[in-house]
Each structure stands twice: as C-alpha cells, then as structure tokens.
Amino acid sequence: MPIIEVDRLQKRYGDTVAVADVSFSIEEGEIFGILGPNGAGKTTTVEAIAGLREPDAGLIRVMGLDPFARREELRRVLGIQLQESQQPDKLEVGEALDLYASFYQSSADPDALLAALGLAGKRRSRFAKLSGGQKQRLSIALALIGNPQIAVLDELTTGLDPQARRDTWALIEGIRERGVTIVLVTHFMEEAERLADRVALIDQGRVVAVDTPAALTVSASPQQVIRFRPSVPIPHGLLDRIPEITSVRSERDQVVVSGTGDVLGAVVSVLARKGIVANQLRVEQANLEDAFVALTNHHSKED
C-alpha cells in the first residue's frame, strides 16, 4: 500500500491554476522526485501533501489520512523543509535545533544531526552569521529533527556550492537507509537522477510522466551515440550490418555511431572480431534533462 497517494489534485489561487491535474503514488521508503520548471506546481503539490493547503479538488492520502483534515496527526510524522524559510537572526544553530526537538515526542540527536550535516562547529553560531549553504543545511536538520517517517524537501540544494550539494545528497541517501520516505522537489535534473528512485515530471500543473529516471531517459530518447577513434580504418560496410545501428558517420578521425538497445556491445564485439581497437570510446547517452525537454515539449504540443 502506498504511503502517499495523490489522485487528480487541483489547486488554484484566484484565477491562477497552480495545479491542474496531478496524480501519483509514493511507496514507503522511496525517494520520490518531483521535477519541473519554476511555476510548474511542484511546491503547491507538496504543500498539499504536507497539509498546509487544502485542495480544491482531488484526493490526497498520507499514511491513509487526509493530510489537511488530519494535519495535527500528520505533523508528528512528516518533516518539511520549506523553500525560503528562515530563523530569527540572533538565534543560535543549537538553540534552533533544541527548540524544534522539544516540539516532538521523540527527536533525533541534535549533535549527530549537526555532525552529519557538517554543522558540528556551528552550534553556537547565530543564524544571521551562517552562509547560504549553512542556512540551507540547518533547514534540512530542522526538517529531520522530529524523526519523521516522511520528509518533504523543497529545493533541497538550491544555493549550495557543488561540494555542499554532494555532501547533502550523501546525507539524504543515509536517511533513506533508515526507511524514511523522502519527497524531493527539485529543478536540478542531476539531483533527481542521483537520488530519486522514481520521478514525477510536472509541467504547467500536470504530471507529464512518472517513472524511474533511467526509464524516463530511455523512453524520451532511445538513441545512444557512440564515438571512438578506430586503431585502423574500419572496412566499408562492416558496421552497417549491425541491426542495432541506425546511422554511421565520420567526424575528422572519429567514427560516430547512433543506435538503440545494446548498440555498444554489438559494435565492440564486431570490432574485436576484426582486431580493431576503439580508442577514446565515449558513449553519449541522453540524460534526464534531455528527457525532460522532450517530454515537456511533447506535452505542450498536445495542449
């Protein structure tokens, strides 16, 4: 049974439709990515899941409960990191954690959490003195201090430098290992690709696709491109006979092969049989970003 179910969610603010039609379900222990451009309705969707907003239409169930009607209960088990939420300037990091820890029946160890987030030396630092990345990490710590069963992280690594971003990803993977279900809102494809078990692509308030990052990538763009420099010129017509290959061309001293399926294995084995070495072999695979562009373009044409 899914831990979170969203069925035909709709939410508008005045004349603006924030969420037109969003459905998906999230399994317990999963990292579920919600991916989409700015203004796609991602934040509104997770705010409705967290019981912060009442849907205009549609049904949401979180652990079997209506999150808006039963928000009192939900708050004990769902931790959320809100976009652009700050703390008082003169509040110390340790004080913020101790305060939020006191709100929950059982809480995580603040020191362990600070250490895991690379804030161990910042316990006595005031909020205003923290860098953007440190503030963001404190916000993540506050989302996790109540030992939630579900953690909603909205734009988790926005504003972090690349190293801090990678450290945060490692932390999220650690939290998943404790069985926490994570809803990850992001517009970074790389983040979704690295962390998410499954991803919902949302565009203009609608779900465009829900699948694993790998499957989305393949379905949107099944072509793979292989480049290499052969040790000796390839006999004419050798590669044309491979069924997986759709095109072969030369670029300077490189051969560029496009194909589907296990085109790499087929090319390498044919070359090996002829004793040709493929130097500087590179496989260019479409990534989630390409898939996203392909899927959202497709969607807007349908409209």
Asked whether the beta carbons of 152 and 79 are under 8 A apart, the reply is yes
Contact between 80 and other proteins by CB under 8 A: the answer reads yes
273-283 burial code (b ≥16 CB/10 A, e <16)? eeebebeeeee
Q: In what order do the strands lie in the sheet with 224-230?
A: 245-251, 254-259, 224-230, 278-285
Burial class, 233, CB count within 10 angstroms (exposed 0-12 / middle 13-18 / buried 19+): exposed
Please give the angle made by the CA atoms of 198, 200 and 204, to the nearest 5 degrees: 170
Contact between 78 and other proteins by CB under 8 A: the answer reads yes
Asked whether the beta carbons of 90 and 72 are under 8 A apart, the reply is no
The span of 102-110, 208-216, 247-255, 266-274 binding other proteins (CB under 8 A) equals 102-110
Residue closer to other proteins (CB basis): 87 or 157 = 87
Contact between 84 and other proteins by CB under 8 A: the answer reads yes
Structural tokens at position 244: 């997986």
Residue closer to other proteins (CB basis): 140 or 208 = 140
Residue closer to other proteins (CB basis): 6 or 216 = 6
Please give the angle made by the CA atoms of 292, 32 and 112, to the nearest 5 degrees: 130
Contact between 44 and other proteins by CB under 8 A: the answer reads no
Task: Pick the binder of other proteins from 16, 105, 162, 177 (CB under 8 A).
Answer: 105
Least distance CB 104 / other proteins (angstroms): 6
| Alpha carbons 213 and 194: distance in angstroms, whole number | 9
Least distance CB 178 / other proteins (angstroms): 16
Contact between 226 and other proteins by CB under 8 A: the answer reads no
Partners of 227 in the beta sheet?
Answer: 256, 282
Residue closer to other proteins (CB basis): 25 or 285 = 25
| Alpha carbons 170 and 106: distance in angstroms, whole number | 24
Contact between 46 and other proteins by CB under 8 A: the answer reads no
Contact between 240 and other proteins by CB under 8 A: the answer reads no
Residue closer to other proteins (CB basis): 101 or 210 = 101
| Subset of 134-163 contacting other proteins (CB under 8 A) | 142, 146, 149
Binding stretches for other proteins (CB under 8 A): 50, 52, 63-65, 72-73, 75-80, 82, 84-88, 90-91, 95, 98-100, 102-105, 142, 146, 149
